[in-house]
Structure 1
Amino acid sequence: KPYEVQDLLVANPHDSTQYRIMGRADDLLVLSTGEKVRPTNLEQKVLEHPDIKDVLAFGAGQVCLGLLIELSANRFDSADIDQPETCAAILSSIQPYLERGNSFTDKHGKVSNEIVVLTRESTRPFIRTDKGSMARKSILAAFGKEIQSCYEKVDIQNALPFPSLYDGGYALLDSIRSLVHGIIGYNNITEFMDLFEAGMDSLQASRLRRAILNGLRVTPDLPILIEDIETDFCFRNSSIEKLYLAVARPVSGSQDENGIHETREEHRIWAMEDMFQKYHDVLRSFERLAAHVHASRLKRRPAAGQKKVVLLTGSTGSLGCFLLACLADDPDISKVICLNRLHTDTTSPRQRQMDLMSKCGAYMSNQAWDKVVLHGADLSRYNFGLDEDHFPELLGATHIIHNAWPVNFNRSLASFAPRSLSWLPVNRASNILTEPLFSKGLKPFYHMENPSRRSWQGVMSNLSDILGERHGKPLPLIPLKKWLGRVRDLGEDHQRNVAYKFYHSWSGTLR
């Protein structure tokens, strides 16, 4: 009679008698964001510290993961781990092991020093079963107060009060901007840029939400007392400008139906229907172009007996690793061309791919690897940033799998809508700009990561490359004021000076 085990097993694709034990079925933690974390590798790496007896991850239902660490007897028997200096010294010694453990975990499952609870084997040991294994539920219940206190302390310790709107809101806007830049890690994010398109992940969104909530909690003399905000607050207000407007309402005391506590289902349904209709109409305008592309692809289908060539993006992700393994193992496929983000480290693209596949448990034979071609690419650049020797290889692809998409179940609908000119050519924000892109003799500019924000500077740089191709070098970029002056001097003849239609809209810049 078969025995049902509680362990998760993965079969070796090359030997059906071998299995890898991935951990206990009850090890899986589901965060409040809906994301799932299996912390087994993280726990094992931290456990390699010579003065740690056991490690237990926690965080089910919380916004981020934390660790309970049981320190070995002897060395820490006389140390008072409740003292800040002692605790800091212990955490400092654990830090290299924690960083290594985090390297085996997705972004939403990484642990910071602030969410670590220490205990000693000699004074308050972990609860264990008769077999000697950790009684996970009992341990988490026993340390429930410490865990909750840990989250609350992290939430409040760095909270800064928000300024009032005495100066028209500029100080509050600067405060929100600083919070965003500090949490995401770089300061080139503009007020209108979507934060998730700029690279913010769900863990950073959770940190930003807590920072805003605690800022409101410690802000004196608020007209409206704020005890909590929605868990998806940053997903629904996914730009600095939207965050500023959402925070300004309770600061000024002018809450409304779109304020910080909005939960109306009717508004969500209306927003979905409105966005659907908007982009349905936009896509309908490309019917003729789509038909032309479809006809061209039919002509490029492989003949009977001819093997397929697959272009794959996102092969370094968990799903991408297994996709690559399946494709390369398919006898009907002769080549798999992988386009992945450029990396600055010295590891070769192939070695990096192999390392990531090994982590995921995806395996390929040497024969399968011979089919794989890896390129570092930037999908927003002309020819994806590939040189003239490598880009033509992509034109032989018979199938394209675009797998490079952010996996984030909490992104709001609004965060997918571009503002101004964010992606081309689907969002025809300016017919004046996009019409030349489809003119005869000019290569159209496509942005494959749709929708993905590009700044005006980035778009103009791409256009400079494309339009300058016939001259053998990029067209020079000049300031708008200088360009408008040239447009004015060229005169109002619309046949000779098609750009004149821009002039009256922007002529105030010349004053």
Structure 2
Amino acid sequence: MPFYTPPVTTRQCVQFPAFKPPALDGSVTLVEAYDWHLEHSPEHVYYKYEDIDGSIGTIKWKEAVLAAYRAAHIVRGHADNNAKFAILAVSDSITFGATLMGCMRAGFPPFLVSPRNSPEVIAGLLDKAEITHVFYSPDVATTKHAKAGTAHRPIQLIPLPTLDQLYSSDDVTAPPPVKPGFYDNALIIHSSGSTSVPKLLPVSHSTLFLMGASAWWNEIDLGSMTMNFAPTPMYHLMGSAHLAIATYSGVQIAVFPPTIPPVQPTAENFLHSIVATKSNITMIMPSILESLSHVPADVQKLARMDLVLYGGAALKPSAGDRLVEGGVKLMPGLGMSEAGVLCALITRPLGRDWQWIRQAPYNKLHYRDLEDGTYELISHDGHYVDTPNCEYEGKRALATKDVVVRHPTDPGLFKIVGRLDDQLVLSTGEKTNAIPLEAILTSDSLIERAVVFGRGRPHNGVIIQPRGEQAFDPNDLVRLAEFRDAIWPTVVKMNEFAPSHSRIAKEMIIVTSPSKPLPVNPTKNTVIRALATAAYEQEILDAYDTFSLAEGGEFQPPATWELTDTVAFIRKVVRTVVPDLPSDNDDLFNYGCDSLKAARIHNNIVGALRATNCLSDGFPGESPYKFPTIKSLAAFVSTSGLSGHAHVDLKALKIAEVEAMLAKYSSSFPTHAPSPATATESAQLVFLVTGTTGGLGTNLLAQLLGQPEVKRVYALNRRGPPGTSLLDRHKVAFIDRGVDPALLDLDKFVLLEGDTAQSELGIHPAVYEEMRTAVTHIIHNAWPVNFNYAVQTFEGAVRGSKNLVDFALKSTRTEPPRFTFISSVGVSRNAGSEVDLAPEEPILDLNLVVGQGYPESKWVVERMLQIAAERTPLKSVSIRVGQLAGGHSGCWNASDWLPVIVRSAAKLSCLPDASAPISWIRLDEAAASVIEMRDASGVLHLVHPRPVPWRTAFDTFSRTLGNVPIVPFSDWMGRLIAYAEANPEGGREVPAMRLLEYYKGIGPTGFDGMARVENISTVKAQVVSPTLRNMAPMSEVDAEKWIAYWKRAGVL
């Protein structure tokens, strides 16, 4: 069936007119194309190889097709209508390829089984595929595996046809013609088992067609070249792909000679093959390239080739850099049996940017935002996905589990940084990409293999297998300490590369036992992560226990736990761990403290308290978070040490801390001094908006850009993760939220990369001066969200707000810019009651606010703005925003507290109930309301004025998820806690586990307790905002849109 393909960009096989390509519209499958070439390209060379005598042997298309016919007759001679064939063979590519094509030509899609699997795995795979016949090679190992793998069920074993049988001079007739469907299975392979037990992976004729025809849509006349596949095994799709590439492009395939036993690939004989066959291009496994990269003479030979493609596994960066520096034209390939080739397979290499991949022109890729600067690659198109596992934007799609970063300037490029299987989400919500860390560790000559672990834990650890003769019994504590010391410089190097939360302490290094090596995938030679962590489960538990119970012997306990002695002790501990901390009043987390360092501080405090017999109950592990300065932590520890209990008047401490922060940032303000030159200033609106990549910020920016009366919008954002440009982040955010990205091309849009916490907002002085004369309105939306942190950790955000206030008062305009601050309803959560609505007024009593650092920090800015309004001409409004839901497009951040409940429903088999009404507000309507409130003053509330029952949303969730039961909150929490205890690494399937502490903090009344947060007045806000005043209530339609979005995003 013909279907859309891109326009041809490069004709193939121009130099070889003997090759006549079949139709490139999908109407001719691979097996039918063999018949085509017998008639139209019989004399074109298919295979090249260096024979034993040093001569170059060739096989032409006529010979190859007739060999496939002979194989088809052999298959048909053994088959009935219910037969299913597998090939389990160590064989040369020519013989294996003819047998494979013979199965297809006879009408039986073959199952290609790796002989490197164990007999048990082979037996399981043959059972799953319901195989009745197995072609096997005659070598001893494969014969043994074949017999063992088929012993438990009646499977006919057939010796693999020999080269002489297949390439006989005897006449052969064509088997009866076959006409497979374009999306029918052509063959079956199996996964590598890198992360679990291998599974069956069908490969359709459409996938093989796209793999073969892709050269026509790229930049090189591949068909006029020789492509070397010599070392690539045929049971791997990367090896058998040469059948399709040769069929549709005409490229000549270089292989090892067809001998028995077959040539075993090495770096040396591969290099010899490419020279002898004059190969221009190769597709190779990274392990061979890594070996060659160390020998300059070998690198020179590779550099003579037009292109060196690698795939199947990651190439070590150091090896790739050596090859590129030596002139090798290196490029990664990316393909999946489920979706074919995902990259532009043949394109001009990128030199030093060799790790970047350009997406294929025919396969529409999407990038699911993982909210940490990385994305999951989604292959999305009805034509090209064989085995979809999700729905994305209403179409079947494949969530690849590949984690990528986007190129900072070229949106068509991406780079793989890991797999979701390899991405470890810590209990803090922070993520660790294990692969690059393990690559650094295994560069050490003492380390054979490494597996980083830590999913669901506060920090990471690593299992290390010593190399060869370095192996020892890890129960020998002296040897263990010596080995840890020997590899520690490499661990330090890794920690310098890693994000702070991913760093590994020496105590968290587990060394393997010689009797229990790490389980390895035989095809890819990579560690099977899930099996490795399961094998060392007890050792991992022991490591965490040892770390958490560390006696903290690094520091001598204080003479007493009086405050003066305690401050000195805490100062010594903290400054050893966080050496850049300027003073006792500065926040640890603003100067490099992370979860691992916080754990070390906690452990040393606990050790000292125990050593002085001054702790009779548990000391909270979150204490460094709740008291993140030396002064506050010392006060807490002093009280604990003197009383023997970890209790202290937290509210009094918090009030003092919040008041101190307010005093620090409201003590003085600049004097507003307008310039006479602005007396005739323009009436057009110019906005400065912070934080424009999130849900509310994206909608604010889009709506302002769309308003004719707005002359300019300055969008100020912090620098993002490496590898992603700020503009690309905006484009992705706009597309994801259903907003037209073309708005970002308007001249009125000015994108700024800076930091409000720095002087002059961290932007160029000339731009700062320009904005002083131009900006009429400021909307301060950017704010870090972390409900675990104390108010001190938000000081950078408070300081940024003060810098924006100072910027406004330094304006040269007649009046300072109007200041809109996006606050939170959390500030007023205790200001109302079940009877009385919380008023739209300033809150002066801090007792109504303290509890969490997030709303406390928002309150500080609210009060600072109120004080500024009393002392200066600055006019401001603080908008306390409630829960923001998906807008009319349905886009609702899948990591938010409510979406993760819905995403967890399938595994928990329930949803939580509540009697609380919901006053959530749609994102786009929230943005419109904020813009309408820009000239107001004081405090306004932004929640839905027409709440609806909880069940309005949750009955819809239940129905669309297959009538999942809705149960009381306590029952739901019980199931969540039980699942988390039984599945500590199950956060991907039950993402609500990641917010377990948040849900616990809601209290025994569950989501009913949240009603008071929403029980606030909107009378003043409705007067100012027509959008809020006329807002339609939430309905089942909204809930259906959210569900549809989460399905499109591949998370439901």
1:381-438 residue CA offsets vs partner (Å, 9 max, x unmatched): 3x357786564355568998979865655203575479xx97875999xxxx9xx999
> Which residue of the partner structure matches residue 244 of structure 1?
634
**8 Å contact from structure 1 (residues 29, 37) kept in 2:** yes
**Alpha carbons of structure 1 residues 41 and 438: separation in structure 2 relative to 1, 3 Å:** closer
**8 Å contact from structure 1 (residues 49, 97) kept in 2:** yes
> Which residue of the partner structure matches residue 225 of structure 1?
616
**8 Å contact from structure 1 (residues 313, 402) kept in 2:** no
**8 Å contact from structure 2 (residues 574, 630) kept in 1:** yes
Distance in structure 1 (CA, Å) of the matches to 2:571 and 2:475: 35
> Which residue of the partner structure matches residue 53 of structure 1?
448
> Which residue of the partner structure matches residue 214 of structure 1?
607
1:68 Cα deviation (Å)? 0.6
1:108 Cα deviation (Å)? 0.8
The runs of 5 or more residues in structure 1 that have no matched partner are 290-294, 342-377, 453-511
**8 Å contact from structure 1 (residues 128, 135) kept in 2:** yes
> Which residue of the partner structure matches residue 38 of structure 1?
433
Distance in structure 1 (CA, Å) of the matches to 2:475 and 2:564: 42
Equivalent residues in 2 for 1:71-220 (5 A)? 71-74=466-469, 76-77=470-471, 86-87=479-480, 90-91=483-484, 94-95=487-488, 97-119=490-512, 122-128=514-520, 134-155=527-548, 156=550, 158-159=552-553, 160=555, 162-165=557-560, 168-190=562-584, 192-217=585-610, 219-220=611-612
> Which residue of the partner structure matches residue 489 of structure 1?
none
1:65 Cα deviation (Å)? 0.8
**Alpha carbons of structure 1 residues 334 and 44: separation in structure 2 relative to 1, 3 Å:** farther
Distance in structure 1 (CA, Å) of the matches to 2:533 and 2:800: 47
Distance in structure 2 (CA, Å) of the matches to 1:62 and 1:310: 40
**Alpha carbons of structure 1 residues 55 and 174: separation in structure 2 relative to 1, 3 Å:** same
1:255-308 residue CA offsets vs partner (Å, 9 max, x unmatched): 48636xx8xxxx79xx89x989x99xx99xx9xx9xxxxx99953368959995
Is 2:695 the counterpart of 1:317?
Answer: no
User: TM-score with structure 2 length normalisation?
Assistant: 0.30
1:211 Cα deviation (Å)? 2.3
Distance in structure 1 (CA, Å) of the matches to 2:387 and 2:641: 63
Distance in structure 2 (CA, Å) of the matches to 1:275 and 1:104: 36
Q: What is the aligned length?
A: 376
Distance in structure 2 (CA, Å) of the matches to 1:55 and 1:338: 41
**8 Å contact from structure 2 (residues 624, 633) kept in 1:** yes
**8 Å contact from structure 1 (residues 161, 215) kept in 2:** yes
- SS state of the match for residue 213, structure 1? helix
**8 Å contact from structure 2 (residues 714, 750) kept in 1:** yes
1:2 Cα deviation (Å)? 1.8
The alignment yields a C-alpha RMSD, in angstroms, of: 5.4
**Alpha carbons of structure 1 residues 112 and 246: separation in structure 2 relative to 1, 3 Å:** same
Is 2:392 the counterpart of 1:392?
Answer: no
**Alpha carbons of structure 1 residues 16 and 250: separation in structure 2 relative to 1, 3 Å:** closer
**Alpha carbons of structure 1 residues 81 and 241: separation in structure 2 relative to 1, 3 Å:** same
**8 Å contact from structure 1 (residues 315, 403) kept in 2:** no
Distance in structure 2 (CA, Å) of the matches to 1:187 and 1:137: 39
**Alpha carbons of structure 1 residues 322 and 100: separation in structure 2 relative to 1, 3 Å:** farther
Distance in structure 2 (CA, Å) of the matches to 1:24 and 1:233: 34
**Alpha carbons of structure 1 residues 337 and 442: separation in structure 2 relative to 1, 3 Å:** same
**8 Å contact from structure 1 (residues 195, 238) kept in 2:** yes
**Alpha carbons of structure 1 residues 441 and 332: separation in structure 2 relative to 1, 3 Å:** closer
**Alpha carbons of structure 1 residues 111 and 254: separation in structure 2 relative to 1, 3 Å:** closer
1:210-243 residue CA offsets vs partner (Å, 9 max, x unmatched): 22222222x2232x423x3223222222222221
Distance in structure 2 (CA, Å) of the matches to 1:297 and 1:8: 50
**Alpha carbons of structure 1 residues 425 and 139: separation in structure 2 relative to 1, 3 Å:** closer
Distance in structure 1 (CA, Å) of the matches to 2:416 and 2:591: 37
1:174 Cα deviation (Å)? 0.5
- SS state of the match for residue 221, structure 1? coil
Is 2:397 the counterpart of 1:2?
Answer: no
**Alpha carbons of structure 1 residues 441 and 88: separation in structure 2 relative to 1, 3 Å:** farther
1:185 Cα deviation (Å)? 1.2
Is 2:746 the counterpart of 1:332?
Answer: yes
1:180 Cα deviation (Å)? 1.6
Amino acid at match of 1:237: F
Distance in structure 2 (CA, Å) of the matches to 1:84 and 1:65: 21
Distance in structure 2 (CA, Å) of the matches to 1:310 and 1:333: 11
The runs of 5 or more residues in structure 2 that have no matched partner are 1-385, 390-398, 673-680, 688-704, 732-740, 824-856, 859-1052
Amino acid at match of 1:331: D
Amino acid at match of 1:60: R
**Alpha carbons of structure 1 residues 442 and 62: separation in structure 2 relative to 1, 3 Å:** same
- SS state of the match for residue 49, structure 1? coil
Distance in structure 2 (CA, Å) of the matches to 1:312 and 1:117: 45
Amino acid at match of 1:59: G
Distance in structure 2 (CA, Å) of the matches to 1:338 and 1:384: 10
Is 2:795 the counterpart of 1:411?
Answer: no
**Alpha carbons of structure 1 residues 213 and 322: separation in structure 2 relative to 1, 3 Å:** farther
Amino acid at match of 1:32: S
1:7 Cα deviation (Å)? 3.0
User: TM-score with structure 1 length normalisation?
Assistant: 0.56
1:313 Cα deviation (Å)? 3.3
Amino acid at match of 2:536: F
**Alpha carbons of structure 1 residues 423 and 133: separation in structure 2 relative to 1, 3 Å:** closer
Distance in structure 2 (CA, Å) of the matches to 1:254 and 1:97: 42
- SS state of the match for residue 26, structure 1? coil
**8 Å contact from structure 1 (residues 29, 36) kept in 2:** yes
> Which residue of the partner structure matches residue 685 of structure 2?
299
1:184 Cα deviation (Å)? 1.2
Distance in structure 2 (CA, Å) of the matches to 1:296 and 1:197: 41
Distance in structure 1 (CA, Å) of the matches to 2:406 and 2:812: 53
Distance in structure 1 (CA, Å) of the matches to 2:629 and 2:635: 10
Amino acid at match of 1:230: P
**Alpha carbons of structure 1 residues 253 and 389: separation in structure 2 relative to 1, 3 Å:** closer
Distance in structure 2 (CA, Å) of the matches to 1:399 and 1:22: 40
1:188 Cα deviation (Å)? 2.3
1:186-229 residue CA offsets vs partner (Å, 9 max, x unmatched): 35222x33333455334332322222222222x2232x423x32
Equivalent residues in 2 for 1:211-290 (5 A)? 211-217=604-610, 219-222=611-614, 224-226=615-617, 228-253=618-643, 255=645, 258=648
Query: Matched residues, percent identical?
Result: 22
Distance in structure 1 (CA, Å) of the matches to 2:608 and 2:506: 22
Distance in structure 2 (CA, Å) of the matches to 1:320 and 1:308: 25
- SS state of the match for residue 114, structure 1? helix
Distance in structure 1 (CA, Å) of the matches to 2:477 and 2:646: 44
- SS state of the match for residue 464, structure 2? strand
Amino acid at match of 2:746: D
**8 Å contact from structure 1 (residues 58, 65) kept in 2:** yes
Distance in structure 1 (CA, Å) of the matches to 2:560 and 2:815: 50
**Alpha carbons of structure 1 residues 257 and 107: separation in structure 2 relative to 1, 3 Å:** closer
**Alpha carbons of structure 1 residues 307 and 194: separation in structure 2 relative to 1, 3 Å:** same
Flag the structure with more relative contact order, 1 or 2, with Cα contacts below 8 A and sequence separation at least 6.
1
**8 Å contact from structure 1 (residues 115, 150) kept in 2:** yes
